[in-house]
Structure 1
């Protein structure tokens, strides 16, 4: 049984999902999407990828509804069998540990490159890792309350700094509409979909919702908010930097924010302020992944979750230190995204089909 303190409100669930999806993606999406699409119509690709993610999210909710008092870690064995369920549990645990390593290394990379140049990686990692331990030991509710603080700050500041760049915006850079047809837009769906990985968190936190009848609403809003933020970001970044300008930058969103000044304000340049706030966003993605990984180990082995919060730290540190440079970090992100497409894009649907088949068999038995 869940403690009352472990329950989440619908807005908290939406915020956890949104924070997890945003992560590092908003800093790199304009470049990664353009590398595939090659046209300014990537906002259409984002819409299509968002709708696909919503459809898969609703399948996840439908699957959860069959086991209202259990998370995926607990009901996987009931659908697939004890040992197969444990195998998939460990696959998801490994997936979340990889996400931890990716976000932690991305956080270090952005911090050391733009803010604390020359600072050793371990010195940046350690405070964030121990802060994550503090929150994860406390449980899902303290995490949700911290996310409620981070979310409005990051969204308001993101919109503020992007809208202040409108003086650099050139409409011609986002024209013509579908100038190369629809095929380039469709070609970029897979790459863009990687930026929406994170809604799979509903497989594991849906059980914590106070009002599970609003789970569908939560998943739609949890994915819909990043869709809107992504569209605004890519349109303004491409409109200010042009396609060639975006493709030539590793972090195009940060480049845009660094390219203008507003005189007469307390802050004339907003890049450092934006980065400090967005580091909190990356930490949020790291933290919830840390919690879900430790939760999975606890549910699968029937041990104390708090123990695994500590046990997973060395693993996360090793994963975060494996990439040697920026390209390696992005390759790790692509690898994690490809795993997500297999685990989240296919598995929930298959499990739901298996459940339906079992249900049909069960109903047919009395009449035979």
Structure 2
């Protein structure tokens, strides 16, 4: 690992956070409210079991193979041919996340902010900047995550202003929706943590491998807190009946905030949130191109980044409108979550067996 590719603990943590926060946070409250009603926030907290499991596996694997990512280990344990197939399936997941978020944010921006730009204009502009950052490697991507996170942190606080016009009665009775519905709602919140799997590919980049688990826990606590607070805020402000009528309930909450001099908080919130979506696309795009370079070693990583530029734009445009995109995502995500759990768990098992044999 080259020194200029090493990530600090902060950059590593923020890359994990950036990979998880996607366009879904704007719709997450509705996804769980439809199933768990006023107890949707409980489903959100329980959904964190998935990223906790992923970090646990990554921490164990990296402790035994700190300089070999899961793609290298996959070829070792499954053989080159089968390993490459599994690796490609795993990597396409990140390409899917990157293009899906790009499609979603282009739709949001077109509706709420830049009516004069069509989807193609937004996608091309987005991918030009992302390609530039990814082309310059992990350190550039890490710095980008650091800058955007701290420069836009206020976006997490803006919706909280609406608390003054909320009613705590909307969240009662707690557990009133029933335990079964709360458990069913976990499926939706699990998808909201999608992206945490990049940890299996970027853990060799971390400066101090011993801090990987701590960085992982920090990212999970932060994301779970934001998701839970936004869901509770949506419930107490809009109520479970009104919330499901809006496509992006979190945006609706910010539209209600009125402060002298500032005409509408919606534009400020969406501008800041767009940068966060940009970071999500960048992280997943980087992991995909980096991993693809390990699968197709004859082509240089930087060349792969440039070759994928037009392909990513075209694929991002194929998701259709927001409703069609969410429907497609709803079908493919359960399949990928199961694959990711099985694939990463098998690698961890093989690592354990190998380590036991080495000891004996």
Q: TM-score, normalised by structure 1?
A: 0.93
CA distance in structure 1 between the aligned counterparts of 2:82 and 2:202, rounded to whole angstroms: 22
Q: Is 1:313 aligned with 2:312? A: no
CA distance in structure 2 between the aligned counterparts of 1:88 and 1:44, rounded to whole angstroms: 34
Q: Cα distance, 1:260 vs. partner?
A: 2.8
CA distance in structure 1 between the aligned counterparts of 2:80 and 2:96, rounded to whole angstroms: 24
Q: Which residue of 1 aligns with 2:38?
A: 40
Q: Is this contact kept in 2: 1:23–1:284, CA < 8 A?
A: no
Q: Cα distance, 1:15 vs. partner?
A: 0.6
Q: 2:195 aligns with which of 185, 190, 198?
A: 198
Q: Is this contact kept in 2: 1:18–1:223, CA < 8 A?
A: yes
Q: Is this contact kept in 2: 1:63–1:348, CA < 8 A?
A: no
Q: Which residue of 2 aligns with 1:256?
A: 253
Q: Is 1:98 aligned with 2:96? A: yes
Q: Is this contact kept in 2: 1:58–1:216, CA < 8 A?
A: yes
- Superposed CA RMSD: 1.6
Q: Is this contact kept in 2: 1:95–1:336, CA < 8 A?
A: no
CA distance in structure 2 between the aligned counterparts of 1:139 and 1:80, rounded to whole angstroms: 28
Q: Which residue of 2 aligns with 1:324?
A: 320
- Bigger drift between 337-346 and 283-292 goes to 337-346
Q: Cα distance, 1:216 vs. partner?
A: 0.4
Q: Which residue of 2 aligns with 1:26?
A: 25
SS at match of 1:188: helix
SS at match of 1:117: coil
| Structure 1 residue runs without a partner (length 5+) | none
SS at match of 2:152: helix
Q: Is this contact kept in 2: 1:99–1:336, CA < 8 A?
A: no
Q: What pairs with 1:66-77 in structure 2 (closer than 5 Å)?
A: 66-77=64-75
Q: What pairs with 1:328-347 in structure 2 (closer than 5 Å)?
A: 328-347=324-343
Q: What pairs with 1:130-169 in structure 2 (closer than 5 Å)?
A: 130-159=128-157, 161-169=158-166
Q: 1:57 aligns with which of 55, 58, 69?
A: 55
Q: Which residue of 2 aligns with 1:225?
A: 222
Size of the alignment, in residue pairs?
A: 359
CA distance in structure 1 between the aligned counterparts of 2:151 and 2:163, rounded to whole angstroms: 21
Closer/same/farther in 2, CA of residues 130 and 339 from structure 1, 3 Å limit = farther
Q: Which residue of 2 aligns with 1:300?
A: 295
CA distance in structure 2 between the aligned counterparts of 1:142 and 1:107, rounded to whole angstroms: 22
Q: Which residue of 1 aligns with 2:270?
A: 275
SS at match of 2:173: coil
CA distance in structure 2 between the aligned counterparts of 1:6 and 1:332, rounded to whole angstroms: 35
Q: Is this contact kept in 2: 1:72–1:204, CA < 8 A?
A: yes
Q: Is 1:284 aligned with 2:279? A: yes
Q: Cα distance, 1:167 vs. partner?
A: 2.0
CA deviations 1:187-229 (Å, max 9, x no partner) are: 1111110001111110111000010000000111111100001
SS at match of 2:257: coil
Q: Is this contact kept in 1: 2:73–2:347, CA < 8 A?
A: no
CA distance in structure 2 between the aligned counterparts of 1:83 and 1:308, rounded to whole angstroms: 21
CA deviations 1:271-318 (Å, max 9, x no partner) are: 101101111111111111111111111111213100110111232122
Q: 1:184 aligns with which of 158, 181, 197?
A: 181
Q: Is this contact kept in 2: 1:74–1:300, CA < 8 A?
A: no
Closer/same/farther in 2, CA of residues 184 and 154 from structure 1, 3 Å limit = farther
CA distance in structure 2 between the aligned counterparts of 1:66 and 1:335, rounded to whole angstroms: 35
Q: Cα distance, 1:14 vs. partner?
A: 0.7
Q: Which residue of 2 aligns with 1:82?
A: 80
Q: Cα distance, 1:363 vs. partner?
A: 5.4
Q: Which residue of 1 aligns with 2:6?
A: 7
